[in-house]
Amino acid sequence: MIALCHWEPNGVFLKPLIALAEKGAPYTSHWFDPTAFEQFAPGFPANTESALQLEREGPLLVVGGEVLSSTSFQLEYLNEVVTGPDLFPASAHDRYRVRAWVQYLGLGLGPVVSALGCARFLRPVLAARESAALRAQLAAIEPLERRNAWLAVLDGAVDEAAWQQRLAVPVARLEKALTGADWLAGPAYSLADIDAYALVAPLRTLAPAVVNAVTTPHLAGWLARIDERPAVRAALALSRSGQPEAAWVPGTEPSRWG
């Protein structure tokens, strides 16, 4: 039986929840609150890869003693081992397109979305808990990049305009790809759509001037098609807060090359 350690169905946490719902697969849900630092508690599933994963905080799949992190690769794993509808295209080229999209968006769009989400929603939560105890918890986080990602939410300068600007290229590329195509990689809904939806859907809240029905009509239409999928509704219905769109934790680091 697959176990999934996850939080609110938002951002990267949403990806495996949708995939498992699309598959109709049984799994054991282990809810944790990363803002309470439960993922650092003794006994929480961990390995080298989960500590160093570039998404920083995210869901974990636990299968037969193995701990699998990094959501795009969790999706490929789930599609390979779980019965149910095949969520990967049949042709090698469409499969390439899935992988190229998730890499491009994960490294390009992922850092911007999590930074905007953290600035809007996590920063006030941490600020309200400002205390020596919180600082001690943050100071104990390893590795350094993971600790610094949390500290940046609390202490870093927020240049929301610059972040919004960084959305322009990937959003334009998505809009172009979806002009004349219903789905991102091939003739059918696939892992590329699940992966991208988890990163793009929050922009309707975080950057409504960038993603909306007027300036990005094809992207908006694609989001609406995915919104309506029963598996997506089922995944979002797992929210305990009733506001999954407010659930953010530090994510992928932006490119250090500028």
Amino acid at 98: V
Q: What pairs with residue 63 in β-bridges?
A: 66
Nearer to other proteins, 143 or 180 (CB): 143
Nearer to other proteins, 76 or 245 (CB): 76
Least distance in angstroms from the C-beta of 49 to other proteins: 5
Contacts of 26 (CB under 8 A, 6+ apart): 1, 2
SS3 6: strand
Residues 109-168, interacting with other proteins (CB under 8 A): 143
Q: According to the binding rule CB under 8 A, does residue 179 interact with other proteins? A: no
Q: According to the binding rule CB under 8 A, does residue 83 interact with other proteins? A: no
Measure CA of the first residue to CA of the last residue in the chain; give whole Å.
43
Q: According to the binding rule CB under 8 A, does residue 241 interact with other proteins? A: no
Q: According to the binding rule CB under 8 A, does residue 257 interact with other proteins? A: yes
Residue 129: half-sphere exposure toward Cβ, Cα within 13 Å = 14
Q: According to the binding rule CB under 8 A, does residue 96 interact with other proteins? A: yes
The pair of structure tokens assigned to 52 is: 């160093």
Which x/- pattern over 44-63 shows residues binding other proteins (rule: CB under 8 A)? ----xx--xxx--------x
Count Cβ atoms within 10 A of the Cβ of residue 237 and give its class: 0-12 exposed, 13-18 middle, 19 or more buried: exposed
Least distance in angstroms from the C-beta of 36 to other proteins: 26
Among 66, 86, 155, 227, binds other proteins (CB under 8 A): 66
Least distance in angstroms from the C-beta of 104 to other proteins: 7
Count Cβ atoms within 10 A of the Cβ of residue 140 and give its class: 0-12 exposed, 13-18 middle, 19 or more buried: exposed
SS3 31: strand
Q: What is the distance between the alpha carbons of residues 70 and 176, in angstroms, rounded to a whole number?
A: 27
Nearer to other proteins, 92 or 214 (CB): 92
Among 3, 46, 84, 99, binds other proteins (CB under 8 A): 99
Q: Which residues bind other proteins (CB under 8 A)?
A: 48-49, 52-54, 63-64, 66, 68-70, 72-74, 76-77, 80-81, 92-93, 95-96, 99-100, 103-104, 107, 143, 169, 255-258
